[in-house]
């Protein structure tokens, strides 16, 4: 699937690219409406393509357009943390908006079922639960919202298609399949109510391309304690007899990829503990003394039972 992204940028940014017809990009936009004439008409009602700015290069193509009048929509605003995000994902932590009205499906990217929101809103972020905002466990939190897009004079959005391409052995290899994406820049967001929250599973902590640390037990005792706080209340006993099926993820290290939040104790590490790697949604967050664990060098081999 071809990849379209709305980004907010100034015109000189892609001046090096070659000019071409806007028709192909507009056809892609029409396709994102799934054949709905009302959706296509709605796009043209609110946005105007600047035809002489349609450009492309080897890995991307785009056309500038402008928002013709203010646009207010109801929908779902979803905050996501995914430490297992791939190189083709927007980031480890991101926010997406999905409109309720199907006539605005041109704002919905198939990759994430929503448009990436490229502005932060502190009043909404203060409503996020502690496990997401402070502990930064993988998962998502959704709100029902009313969102208004900006209409800023002398600035333009862009209709943007991109793919990552690696060059090697005399050929180009696409690292990411084309996929629909959008980026939007809301002027304001009003929360109408909280919709849902969900902690993610083990797969959201497994990713080779960012610095992640996984542990196994390193003790002469029969078990290791996982505690609520350093040297605090015992939440669970991790037994050596279960060593082949447990997974222990260094949450301090994972979190350092998206936050300046530091470990509160040099002798203890905050972890996400999975009692059974075959049951990825059963997990406990807590603290383990560093003397009781050691790093697993090859998490993929471990997850595949040593193969």
**The most confident of 57-61, 83-87, 170-174, by mean pLDDT:** 83-87
| Same-domain pairing of 161 and 281 | no
pLDDT digits (tens, 9 = 90+) for 34-84: 878 898 888 888 877 776 667 766 556 666 677 788 889 999 999 999 988
| Same-domain pairing of 53 and 164 | yes
Which of 200, 218, 249 is at the close of a domain?
200
Number of neighbouring beta carbons within 10 Å of residue 231: 12
What pLDDT does residue 206 have?
83
Cα(71)–Cα(295) distance, rounded to whole angstroms?
Answer: 51
- Given a contact cutoff of 8 angstroms between Cβ atoms, the answer to whether 230 and 265 are in contact is yes
Cα(55)–Cα(4) distance, rounded to whole angstroms?
Answer: 14
Pick from 65, 67, 62: which is nearest to 20 by CA?
62
For the ranges 5-9, 98-102, 258-262, the lowest mean pLDDT is seen at 5-9
Instruction: Write the CA distances from 60 to 8, 11, 232, 258, integer angstroms.
Output: 16, 15, 53, 27
Which of 200, 215, 231 is at the close of a domain?
200
- Given a contact cutoff of 8 angstroms between Cβ atoms, the answer to whether 125 and 133 are in contact is yes
| Same-domain pairing of 153 and 280 | no
Cα(173)–Cα(164) distance, rounded to whole angstroms?
Answer: 8
- pLDDT category at 278 given cuts 50, 70, 90 is confident
**The most confident of 172-176, 221-225, 250-254, by mean pLDDT:** 221-225
| Same-domain pairing of 244 and 256 | yes
What pLDDT does residue 165 have?
42
What pLDDT does residue 286 have?
95
Q: What percent of the chain has pLDDT over 70?
A: 69
What pLDDT does residue 284 have?
93
What pLDDT does residue 175 have?
46
Q: Which residue do the tokens 């050691």 mark?
A: 294
- Indicate which CATH number applies to the domain containing 280: 2.30.30.40
Residue ranges making up the domain that contains 172: 5-200
What pLDDT does residue 223 have?
94
| Same-domain pairing of 184 and 207 | no
What pLDDT does residue 181 have?
65
pLDDT digits (tens, 9 = 90+) for 221-235: 999 999 999 999 999
pLDDT digits (tens, 9 = 90+) for 129-147: 999 999 999 999 999 999 9
| Same-domain pairing of 216 and 137 | no
Q: Give the tokens for residue 4.
A: 């379209």
Q: Which residue do the tokens 């999975």 mark?
A: 274
How many domains in the chain? 2
pLDDT digits (tens, 9 = 90+) for 116-133: 888 899 999 999 999 999
- pLDDT category at 11 given cuts 50, 70, 90 is very low
| Same-domain pairing of 156 and 92 | yes
**Interacting residues of 186 by C-beta distance below 8 A, sequence separation 6+:** 97, 117, 119, 121, 147, 148, 149, 150
| Same-domain pairing of 25 and 138 | yes
| Same-domain pairing of 195 and 234 | no
| Same-domain pairing of 270 and 139 | no
What SS3 string covers 104-173? HHHHCECCCCEEEECCCCHHHHCCCCHHHHCCCCCEEEEEEEEEEECCCCCCEEEEEEECCEEEECCEEE
- Given a contact cutoff of 8 angstroms between Cβ atoms, the answer to whether 205 and 215 are in contact is no
> In the chain, what are the helix, strand and coil shares in percent, each to the nearest 5?
20, 40, 40
Q: What is the three-class DSSP state of 30?
A: helix
For the ranges 2-6, 32-36, 194-198, the lowest mean pLDDT is seen at 2-6
φ/ψ region of 40 (left if φ > 0, alpha if ψ in -120 to 50, else beta) reads alpha
Say whether pLDDT at 174 is over 50: no
Q: Where are the alpha helices (DSSP H) in the chain?
A: 23-32, 37-46, 122-125, 130-133, 251-255, 299-303
| Same-domain pairing of 26 and 151 | yes
Say whether pLDDT at 173 is over 50: no
Which of 171, 200, 229 is at the close of a domain?
200
What pLDDT does residue 109 have?
66
Cα(189)–Cα(49) distance, rounded to whole angstroms?
Answer: 26
| Mean per-residue pLDDT of the chain | 78
| Same-domain pairing of 193 and 230 | no
Say whether pLDDT at 302 is over 80: no
């Amino acid at each position: 699937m071809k990849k379209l992204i709305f980004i907010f940028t100034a015109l000189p940014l892609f001046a090096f690219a070659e000019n071409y017809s806007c028709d192909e990009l507009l056809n892609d936009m029409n396709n994102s409406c799934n054949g709905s004439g009302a959706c296509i008409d709605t796009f043209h009602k609110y946005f105007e393509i600047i035809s002489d700015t349609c450009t492309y290069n080897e890995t991307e193509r785009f056309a500038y357009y402008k928002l013709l009048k203010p646009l207010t929509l109801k929908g779902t605003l979803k905050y996501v943390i995914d430490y297992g995000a791939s190189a083709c994902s927007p980031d480890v932590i991101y926010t997406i908006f999905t409109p309720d009205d199907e006539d605005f499906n041109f704002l919905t990217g198939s990759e994430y079922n929503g448009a990436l929101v490229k502005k932060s809103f502190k009043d909404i972020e203060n409503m996020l639960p502690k496990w997401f905002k402070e502990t930064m466990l993988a998962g998502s939190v959704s709100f029902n919202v009313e969102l208004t897009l900006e209409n800023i004079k002398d600035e333009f959005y862009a209709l943007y298609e991109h793919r990552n391409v690696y060059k090697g052995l005399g050929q180009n290899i696409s690292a990411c399949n084309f996929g629909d994406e959008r980026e939007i820049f809301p002027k304001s967001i009003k929360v109408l109510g909280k919709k849902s929250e969900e902690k993610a599973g083990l797969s959201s902590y497994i990713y080779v391309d960012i610095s992640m640390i996984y542990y196994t037990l390193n003790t002469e005792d029969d078990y290791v304690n996982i505690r609520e706080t350093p040297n605090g209340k015992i939440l669970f006993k991790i037994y050596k007899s279960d060593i082949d099926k447990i997974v222990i993820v260094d949450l301090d290290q994972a979190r350092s990829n998206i936050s300046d939040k530091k470990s509160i104790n040099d002798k203890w590490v905050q972890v996400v503990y999975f009692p059974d790697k075959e049951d990825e949604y059963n997990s406990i967050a807590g603290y383990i003394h560093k003397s009781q664990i050691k790093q697993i060098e090859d998490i993929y081999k471990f997850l595949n039972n040593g193969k």
